[in-house]
Each structure stands twice: as structure tokens, then as C-alpha cells.
Amino acid sequence: MHQLARRSTVLIALVTIALGPTASLAGAAEPHPKPTPKSGAAEPHPKPTPKVAVIGTGGTIAGVSKSKVSFDDYEAGKLPVSRLVRDLRPDVDRIAAVTTQQFGNKDSNNYSIPEYRRLTATVDHALKYNDGVVVTTGTDTMEEFAYWLDLTVRSDKPVVLTGAMRPWTVIGSDAPANLYNAIHLAASGRTTCFGTVVMLNDEIHAAREVRKTDALRLNAFSSGSSGELGVIDQNRIRVNRAPARAEQCGKSGWKTPFDLGRIARRPLPEVEIAYSYQGAGPEAIKAFADAGAAGVVTAGTGAGGISPAMTEARDDAVKNGVLFASASRTGSGAVYDPHVRGVIGAEDLTPQKARLLLLLSLATTHNEHRIQKWFDTLGTAQFRPRR
């Protein structure tokens, strides 16, 4: 009996070593045992626990369901982000020293460009005092949140966005695992210089490439033909590729031209999206131009085609100083510079991301060639050619 007890103690010790410091058995709240230094040996300098700030903005991840099985029947943006992190304790404390900040608590669709601007300032401020930041958002416009932050945050420390397809309070929710993995990824420093990344469903995606491709499934996010950057398999963070901007790490070119601190505090220009389809009329473009839009992105068919009526309306609007970006409604592939005055090619960007790049560009300059150049670089997933 005595022998058996000793054997099981040895077995538990071996399992603890094999699983490593971040592993814990479900529900167990034991503090991680500190290794005792051998007498005479110098005590190793303990690595400081990475500091991660979690900024909550709402969405399904903070949602409360009617019952434990009402997967689609719930209110988004109800639980405070501090409560979400508290539910992950004590496990999350083993990977990061986490603090929380409530930026807002609502649907992702309810955020405006002025609020986006404040979010950038909040993230950059948090990165001054932390090793990484996690932003929780609704998934519907998460790709826009991500690309905006990618274009505007000045720090090269990790920024990880996460959310969930099922609310926090249903059985089988993806919310707690997504938040835990996002904190783990931010704490690891593995995406330093990657800009903003999105972490959902165990997958890591680059902000520029990621898009929501399903309204309901848990695997709702995809990076199209570029593919994801990597995956998280429990304690293993596997980063298989980097976004092209990582090439500029440590150089001045890493930062985008869009320093919001230098852009005047007046409202940013209005940029709208007009969708083309069989027989599409001129009304949307006309209305946007009449309402004072500085730019319009066309979500064209194939490689950027738009209907004859839309083309006519576009020509008129260009004469009145509106700048157009031609994007594709297909969801992938590039629209190149069409060499038409007043129209630039949106490159690999989806219409909703092209809108953000055009908006920030027009807040900075009206030089069409300069803006096309930004689309050719910031708007593509390409590494720069070696000379």
C-alpha cells in the first residue's frame, strides 16, 4: 500500500513536469509550485510575468443567453470584461498579469469612426505600460476593428483581437477559450511587429487578410487564399508565417503614415461603399456625392467592374472631386490601378477595408498617386521585392 502511494506521487510529479507551468487540471486552483534551488547553486533570475491589458468593447463574447442552450437567442455586450477575465482565473494568472479596461459594451456595428479613433489612443496608451493588448469585440465588424487598429496603432507590441460566435453563458461556448488563447498569444510576444492579429477558433489571422465568412458557424473567420498565420494547440503557439509588415520590424517604415496624433482633431472624411450588381442604378453614388462624401469605394463585380449607370455617376462625382477606390465584391483577388483619373485600384482589400484605408488616406493627403501607392503597399499581403 505504502509502495503504491509513493509510486503515484512520483507519477504526479512526472505529469506536472511534462505538462509544464500553464497546464492545470480542470477546476484545480493550486498555486504553481516554485522549484527549490539546490544548495550552493545561484538562484535563476525568474522571468517576469508578461503584462497584458484586456480592453472590452462588447459583442457576443460578452453576451448573456436566455438559457444554457440558447445559442442564437442572447443579448450581446452585457457582461463586463473584468467578469470574463475573472472566470478564467486562476489559470490565466499563470500566463500573464492581466488587467482589464471597459472601453464600451455594445454590438460591434454600433461603433463609429470617432470611437475607433479613441480606441486607437486607448490601445497605444495601454501598450506603454503592458507587453501586449487584447481587445474583445463583436465578430460582425471585427475585421474592420482589426484593420483600423493595424493601420493606426503606433506601437509594434502585440495587439490581439478576439470575440466569439456563441455567448459566454451557453454550453459549448467558444468565448472562454478564445479569450484565454488571445491573452496567451499577446503574452507570448510571438506577434511582435505583426501589427494587429485576430485570434478565434484556435487560429491566428493577419488583420489585413482576415474576414468573417459565415454568419453562424464557429469557424467563421478565414484569411482567404493567404491562409492563417498560425494556430494555438493548447500550450503550443505555432506561428507558420508572418504578415509582410513584419519585414520592416525596427525600421521607421514599420509604422503606417496614419499617425492619428498628427491628423487634425476635426471629423475624418466621409467615405462610403456602393455595391454593383446586374442593372445597378446611379442613385447610391449620386446620393453619397450629394451628401458630401470625399471618397466612395465601389464593390464591383469580378476585377472591379461596375454597371454603366454607376460608371456615369462615378464620372460626374469625380468631376466634383470625389475619389473612388475600385474593389471587388468577390471576396478575394486584386483590383489593380485602372489608370483612370479619380479612380484607384483597391488591390487585395475587401470593400470594407478599402473604405478604411481610403478614409485615413484622405485625412492625410489628396494626392491620388500617393494614395494609390499606399494601396499598392499597405493594401496587399506582399513582401517587398529584394533589390
Give the per-residue contact string, 163-202, with ligand SIN (x = CB under 6 A; - = no).
x-x-------------------------------------
Minimal distance, residue 224 CB to ligand SIN, in Å? 20
3-state secondary structure the chain: CHHHHHHHHHHHHHHHHHHCCCCCCCCCCCCCCCCCCCCCCCCCCCCCCCEEEEEECCCHHHCEECCCCCCCCEECCCCCHHHHHHHCCCHHHHCCEEEEEECCCCCHHHCCHHHHHHHHHHHHHHHHHCCEEEEECCCCCHHHHHHHHHHHCCCCCCEEEECCCCCCCCCCCCHHHHHHHHHHHHHHCCCCCCCEEEEECCEEEECCCCEECCCCCCCCEECHHHCCCEEEECCEEEECCCCHHHHHCCCHHHCCCCCCCCCCCCCCCCEEEEECCCCCCCHHHHHHHHCCCCEEEEEEECCCECCHHHHHHHHHHHHCCCEEEEEECCCCCCECCCCECCEEECECCCHHHHHHHHHHHHHHCCCHHHHHHHHHHHCCCCCCCCC
Give the contacts of 268 (CB within 8 A, at least 6 positions apart): 113, 114, 117, 359, 360, 363
Contact 196, 146 (CB under 8 A): yes
Question: Binding residues for ligand SIN, how many (CB under 6 A)?
Answer: 10
* The three three-digit cell numbers of residue 15, written as one number: 505529469
Please say which residue, 164 or 335, places its beta carbon nearer to ligand SIN. 164
Contact 221, 232 (CB under 8 A): no
- Cα distance between residue 209 and residue 146, in whole Å: 10
Minimal distance, residue 77 CB to ligand SIN, in Å? 7
- Cα distance between residue 327 and residue 331, in whole Å: 9
Please say which residue, 141 or 276, places its beta carbon nearer to ligand SIN. 141
User: Which of 57, 60, 136, 364 is flagged as catalytic?
Assistant: 60
Minimal distance, residue 289 CB to ligand SIN, in Å? 30
Minimal distance, residue 122 CB to ligand SIN, in Å? 18
- Cis, peptide link before residue 90, omega less than 30° from 0: yes
Please say which residue, 214 or 259, places its beta carbon nearer to ligand SIN. 214
Give the contacts of 123 (CB within 8 A, at least 6 positions apart): 55, 133, 135, 149, 153, 155, 159
Residues 345-364 that bind ligand SIN (CB under 6 A): none
Please say which residue, 151 or 165, places its beta carbon nearer to ligand SIN. 165
Minimal distance, residue 47 CB to ligand SIN, in Å? 35
Minimal distance, residue 288 CB to ligand SIN, in Å? 25
9 is catalytic: no
Please say which residue, 108 or 223, places its beta carbon nearer to ligand SIN. 108
Residue 310 interacts with ligand SIN (CB under 6 A)? no
Give the per-residue contact string, 106-135, with ligand SIN (x = CB under 6 A; - = no).
-xx---------------------------
Please say which residue, 140 or 228, places its beta carbon nearer to ligand SIN. 140
Minimal distance, residue 15 CB to ligand SIN, in Å? 37
Residues 53-92 that bind ligand SIN (CB under 6 A): 59-60, 76
Please say which residue, 296 or 356, places its beta carbon nearer to ligand SIN. 356
Residues 138-157 that bind ligand SIN (CB under 6 A): 138-140
Minimal distance, residue 174 CB to ligand SIN, in Å? 10
Closest residue to ligand SIN, judged by C-beta, is 138
Please say which residue, 138 or 243, places its beta carbon nearer to ligand SIN. 138
Residues at the interface with ligand SIN (CB under 6 A): 59-60, 76, 107-108, 138-140, 163, 165
> Which residues are marked as active site?
60
